[in-house]
Amino acid sequence: MSVDTKKVVVIKVGSGTSNVSDQELDQRWISELTRIPGVEPVLRKPGHFPTPQEFSDLVDADASAVLGAFVASSLLTEDFFDAHPKLEYYAGQAHGYEAMDFSGTRARGITVVNTPYGANTVAEYAFALLMEVYHHVAQRDAMVRSTDWQAPEAPHYMRAYPTQDEAFGKTIGIFGFGKIGHCVARIANGFGMRVLACDRYVTNPPEYVTMVDFDELLAESDVLTLHASLNPSTKNLINDEAIAKMRDGAVLINTSRGGLVDEEALARALKSGKLMGAGLDVLQDEPPLPTNPLLSCENAVITNHVAWLTRGSRLRQVDVAVETYQAFLEGHPINVINAVRE
């Protein structure tokens, strides 16, 4: 490796879906990174969430940058930094990241970024969950296929069992107004919904979005959708106290992190009828434990943490990661998460 060459280690997870292969992703990483002059890409494939020592061993000692990695306090330690003295850039693999003390990275001059590649994808999925809660499409499909419509006791064909609701004219509250939140707002506006959002860092929203505080978001929303990171201030954000402030018959959507929701409290609200329904792509424990109270809630739609997982988003993840790294090399870093926020 020449003096001017920067070694970039990519921590690559599997494709996770059948319509994009690991080989295609490998080729995408290599081809996109080699477009940047002076970059030597190296792929590492741990196959599982690594221990701190395994992670340190995956990253070459002379690496300048790490892409596609995990932003976790268990990995970004003083020992890791000491073992990688040339490291200047560290990129998380996703929108979300673990809340942690970034002072060590700032002191060492290491830029830490996230990779916001799936905003539209996750926003679409949030609405897919909402449509399922409101319209029960999968349940109706199963009913049509399983019913003997020629039988005398067959139900009337054009009846809504169970009843439906609609998004038009309702108020949606978006907690966390980053890239995904903005995409959710745009879709909601297209559905004819009143759009509220809560995010202390956003001061100039689109004209069709009204920024409110958390209590007003709870009180005014027919649909509350979560798009915030999990940290000590947001853990179990949706608890008994918060649910009590929500509108009767409201819907909760969560495509962010399961830890934002007190699952016992949500289950009580769903079973009592306080909340009409919930659409959840994330849970506190994944896969769920058999004791998870939400599994027995018929008005909860639960999917297996796949809101982000489309062919387009997997390929876009690579492109955004490389574009973000190139912006750093050009002197105007973007998506920085370890900057000091006033």
Q: Which residues are catalytic?
A: 257, 286, 305
Burial 171-207 (b: 16+ CB within 10 A, else e): bbbbbbbbbbbbbbbebbbebebbbbbbbeeeeebee
Q: Which among 126, 170, 120, 140 is positioned nearest to 278, based on CA atoms?
A: 126
Residue-wise DSSP of 122-160: HHHHHHHHHHHHHH-HHHHHHHHHHS-TTSTTPPPSS--
Q: Which single residue is written with the structure tokens 């297996």?
A: 304
The two tokens of residue 341 are 């926020």
Q: What is the dihedral of CA 333, 335, 339, 342, to 10 degrees?
A: 120
| SS3 of residue 118 by DSSP | coil
Alpha-carbon distance of 202 to 225, in angstroms, equals 17
Q: Which single residue is written with the structure tokens 């596609």?
A: 68
Q: Which single residue is written with the structure tokens 């295609």?
A: 24
